[in-house]
Structure 1
């Protein structure tokens, strides 16, 4: 079927190209008319913090809980106080530029005893908007910047932070550098400008369609910019690789057939592997929907859509473009003689001789190396890095530091206590009992005055911890407060919940941590089942799954060492170490699984093909490795370059995912697939391809090796066969 699709795309190249250009034009039009990604905080149904937020929205309907906010921090010159008449006038004048805005609901200036520090040198003003952060206009943001500018001009130090400032993620020059490196690798691999440019061109078209599609759907589906960036990152990487596999197989098939037949065989063989590998990535990413985190599900589906587009491009647009230059994609020597080009000196066969000579030593050494790198993963701590993780060049980071220095680190991440006093005889006294209990808890600096709803049956308190939002002591404090709650609630005759940004991050981290092991188990089970069908072997899937685990945990080890422990943090632009973002590990599992299966399929399918054609097990390993290793190495280098470029992104999640994927691809391609796989297959010998007879009869047959193409082409030559151009 895929062979016929490849020949059809080759013959009807103009029609295929026209369809993709129409798809691109439609995506552009939809994206232009859409509102684009939104800035929404991740929600997670079923956790206490989320339930408390929902209770606030129900009992305080006029509180605009989803409205954007901003904080303006002011610091008086040395030796002065903000309460002086001159400085107070400066602040009032600055805030006047904000308070008159049409979107502003309330402006609370700095006041002694609350938002001005004990020494009087530092204070902050709170700005609340009537609209959520995606709807904050540029005019409102400009007003904030003007207020800060006026305070600075008058001699004060002024910075700002808050959700109203968020404007999205910017592209980094390093991301473009990754594409440039991919172009160089393709040129070195193929030795032809056309062959090198074709995968880049098709990948850019595919990722443009998918990224613009995500952009158009982001508003109605309430997706954040991270969904689009993930789709861009993954779509670009797999798009280049999938197209390269088809082009490489087309060049091989031109030795023994005309261009149209070569296109059909390339799509029928390499395209089969592309379709299978892409399916594994899509299933793993779509499987993120079952974790129970809506924002993670949206990111997974957006990235899965980008992979689907990349597969369709490789199966249709690539053979169509090959039809325009079937000879130009060949190496120069092959174009001159039309025969097989002499084999260049390669490290593939010497490397195979080394691996196959000492397979047990190689296996133990490779596994030990990855296990050692994975050790930091045992100390993984999840959370949500906030403004503290931003560069010091950004005003949000400077505002964070100023507040932490003046009021303590916990002031940047206060806890919100929602007290439901409907069943209490004296709600105010009951709320006071709760406040006294929290105030007496070690690790709590202060507890605010209670704010009641109009009915007087629900109150909100603010508790300031002594530790920062991402500090492990803050998580311990939340656990302590919740552990003491049953006794306090029973004595006061109320119920209460602890929420706030910090508590929400802690609850999300816990739920993600609990979902990680089940999700990994599902992914591993899926990997074993799919590879069992493709390779019709018991040991190949088991080996692939174990290799995937080694690559995954080694990559997590690097992430923990860099972002949590601070190793080489300065080189990667990590300003402050802290917990790993809650969504990152489970997102990494879904993506790394698909990429690991990519290399497994592309490498082992050629070994399986050689063994199916009668070669002994060891010869099949050498033959398959020689045929596929060069392309797998090039694909891995391209992915490392693309993902490594995204490690320079501003968004912390994208930075972590970019570095994690770059490391995972390196470990999986070079250590696991190109080293451990042939070593383990050598140890297993003929047993590597063993499958029980009953299981063989039950499993469906998948022709990844393209054997049916040989049978089909052994018949009469089709009348429409075109001669090579």
Structure 2
């Protein structure tokens, strides 16, 4: 590899314009592909196979109208006054024309909805009054029948007494042998009266039976009304118009799920509702349809580049030399990001993906070019011929660049094994940008150096080339006591910084983290103020009803049973049944939590609902909604974190055993990486979750750590940590192999590599740090995590802890079993063999 890069470097120096024009042509092709293939960037994230995804699938099959994405448009008066009738009419007119928008299924008029709810309440009150009146009438009728029955009983008693007297008289007459004709007439009269009483008794019995039937109907109606009243009371706080009348919320439902909704459809909805201004009314919207897509490059990033340029000028001592890493990095970023974005029409690409490509492309592009230029500059100062020096620099430092870049690329591509599609795509795009940065470093950098010739070094430096070389000062190893203190203090400091990571919570940004003053931020804050924080975290709960449930009353009973179970949970402010499938197999409910989507209570509520046993023993619940989706994504990413960390740690050990032909050096280097990673987690939690120093970086809202940030940091910081370990420890090994004692080799290798590693680390911190001031909280946290991680790993771990531990280990640092040493290939990362061969 070193010989190939040597030849490639000399060829690029000889054919400089051919190489430069070729890369510019590639950049032009990438720009053309971008113009043709770029579609849009997604503002949401997707992980297949989650619990909320299963609920959404069930809704799509049974209740398709509720399976699609939904969002809200918030209309509020500028001065906080009540919406006027004219303003309400204009909002309603907008609602009426919105269903023709692409992918829009239904749009709900808030004023009509509130009127319907008020009408329902009135109807329920009327029904209750009618039931009360009906019950009074039934009671009066029953009283009348009971009075009639009492009179009937009295008449029957009189008839019974008369019959008894008549029977006694008949017995006397028959005993005396006298005729009973007169008694027969009286008996006929009594029988007629008895028949009349019997008829009256039948009428009373029939009347009572009719009253009992009406009572049953009345009881059923009262039961239904009572259940309806209870359900209505549970949903009382769900409003579409605020209590003061200043704010109205328009619900927009789409025909496709959120994760499949085209960004153009969201934009069309926003443009429609904001395109017709209503006098005195401000329009904002929820993040589900209007989450801002961060700019790929802004002022903060430009400032970071300026800081990197200053470091380059100080390091290289020449404006010309300092410009080359910036040129190659910018060309590389342009090619990598534009070519990646050209595929956005074919694959769903999140808005963070190209920004990550810009971050990595700039940082490693500048650093890798710097390594080669710095090596070439030193060789020129030592009197080497320009093109030969370019070839040697490309074969030595360039070889290390290729190896370091390959390490970063492998770590990023390994994100695909997590099974998280958007994370794998982010890793792939990042790997592409790093690969292009490596190719530019070993081709375009030599071409620029060939054009510059000896002008690469300033006049003063060229003048010093003719002076007699100054004697090199002997490097003394550090004192052992100092190594012990350095190691202990470094590890203790890293552990202290890592402590906040113990309380890390992960999630996805909500509207509170949107840029202040943006429509999405305003929509979130207005909704929270007017309708409660939970209005921004609406949950969708499904209930699988049993097959025997049929009829309106049974369905209502099942809905009430589920609603009671949900409403009884802590941190639930409202529950409302919203739909039942045609076959009564699935019911859907809207649940409003007490706090926002990223609150700990909302997280606990989702878990509690999912842990509930079947309602009534046979009604199974499922939970979806954007808040639940975010929780599922965060959980899935946390689940893959240990696996990915183990993979990266194992990869780290294997690579360094191969490079350094040692067992202990890889172990302490990997341990140092883990410590710096944990410290980065801790610092990120302290700033973005706890709010420490939030004002310094202009962070206006805190919350959970970006759910995929811990995984991303592992892959990127691992690759960058191995870069610095490689450039420092390879020099130590080279000195040890050439006869220096183990401790002298540590000092010599550290001195040889510290300046370039310092400059490279400062450049990366500057580039990544520029993204801390992005408007997007997601980009801020990624930029901060990478900047702090590089800072802590380069200066505390690689330049303090590692040299101290290697000093303490002494010769044992380079021990390796003979059998393992024999079977391993010889990886000459620094190209030492090439340098000896071409110097002889």
3-state secondary structure, aligned to 1:626: helix
Task: Give, in whole Å, the separation in 1 of the partners of 2:653 and 2:509.
Answer: 35
Task: Give, in whole Å, the separation in 2 of the partners of 1:331 and 1:76.
Answer: 62
Aligned to 1:579: 704
Aligned to 1:677: 802
CA contact (8 A) 2:102 2:268 kept: no
- 2:28 counterpart of 1:25: yes
Aligned to 1:408: 532
Cα shift at 1:63: 5.3
- 2:606 counterpart of 1:478: yes
- 2:337 counterpart of 1:211: yes
One of 568, 574, 580 as aligned partner of 1:440: 568
One of 622, 635, 642 as aligned partner of 1:517: 642
3-state secondary structure, aligned to 2:718: helix
CA contact (8 A) 2:535 2:593 kept: yes
Unpaired runs of at least 5, structure 1: 716-725
State the superposition RMSD in angstroms: 2.6
Within-5 A mapping of 1:111-150: 111-112=113-114, 113=117, 114-129=239-254, 132-136=261-265, 140-147=269-276, 149-150=277-278
1:135–1:652: structure 2 CA closer, same or farther, 3 Å change rule? same
3-state secondary structure, aligned to 2:249: strand
Aligned to 1:697: 822
- 2:550 counterpart of 1:548: no
CA contact (8 A) 1:430 1:492 kept: no
Task: Give, in whole Å, the separation in 1 of the partners of 2:533 and 2:580.
Answer: 27
3-state secondary structure, aligned to 2:454: coil
3-state secondary structure, aligned to 1:459: strand
The one-character-per-residue Cα deviations of 1:550-585 (angstroms, maximum 9, x if unpaired) are: 211111111101111111112222221111111111
Task: Give, in whole Å, the separation in 1 of the partners of 2:362 and 2:251.
Answer: 42
3-state secondary structure, aligned to 1:463: strand
Cα shift at 1:98: 5.1
Aligned to 2:213: none
The one-character-per-residue Cα deviations of 1:597-644 (angstroms, maximum 9, x if unpaired) are: 111011111121222222222222222222211111111111111101
Cα shift at 1:77: 5.3
- How many corresponding residue pairs? 702
Aligned to 1:52: 55
Task: Give, in whole Å, the separation in 1 of the partners of 2:291 and 2:405.
Answer: 34
Task: Give, in whole Å, the separation in 1 of the partners of 2:609 and 2:674.
Answer: 37
Within-5 A mapping of 1:449-598: 449-484=577-612, 486-488=613-615, 491=616, 493-598=618-723
CA contact (8 A) 2:743 2:810 kept: yes
The one-character-per-residue Cα deviations of 1:326-346 (angstroms, maximum 9, x if unpaired) are: 212224334335458967999
- 2:499 counterpart of 1:371: no
Bigger mean CA offset, 566-575 vs 703-712: 703-712
CA contact (8 A) 2:559 2:587 kept: yes
Unpaired runs of at least 5, structure 2: 118-238
Aligned to 2:444: 317
Task: Give, in whole Å, the separation in 1 of the partners of 2:606 and 2:715.
Answer: 31
3-state secondary structure, aligned to 1:169: coil
Greater percentage in helix: 2
Q: TM-score, normalised by structure 2?
A: 0.79
Task: Give, in whole Å, the separation in 2 of the partners of 1:569 and 1:179.
Answer: 23
Task: Give, in whole Å, the separation in 2 of the partners of 1:483 and 1:34.
Answer: 45
CA contact (8 A) 1:377 1:556 kept: yes
Aligned to 2:420: 293
CA contact (8 A) 1:431 1:450 kept: no
Task: Give, in whole Å, the separation in 2 of the partners of 1:62 and 1:99.
Answer: 14
Cα shift at 1:374: 0.9
The one-character-per-residue Cα deviations of 1:446-496 (angstroms, maximum 9, x if unpaired) are: 112231345543332111111221111111111211121x332xx363433
Aligned to 1:227: 353
Cα shift at 1:705: 2.7
Cα shift at 1:539: 1.2
CA contact (8 A) 1:509 1:582 kept: yes
- 2:19 counterpart of 1:16: yes
CA contact (8 A) 1:333 1:341 kept: no
Cα shift at 1:363: 0.8
Aligned to 1:187: 313
Task: Give, in whole Å, the separation in 1 of the partners of 2:305 and 2:654.
Answer: 34
Task: Give, in whole Å, the separation in 2 of the partners of 1:341 and 1:647.
Answer: 47
1:59–1:339: structure 2 CA closer, same or farther, 3 Å change rule? farther
Task: Give, in whole Å, the separation in 2 of the partners of 1:435 and 1:611.
Answer: 74
Cα shift at 1:139: 5.9
Cα shift at 1:541: 0.5
3-state secondary structure, aligned to 2:487: helix
Cα shift at 1:50: 1.8
Query: Highest Rg: 1 or 2?
Result: 2
Task: Give, in whole Å, the separation in 1 of the partners of 2:624 and 2:549.
Answer: 25
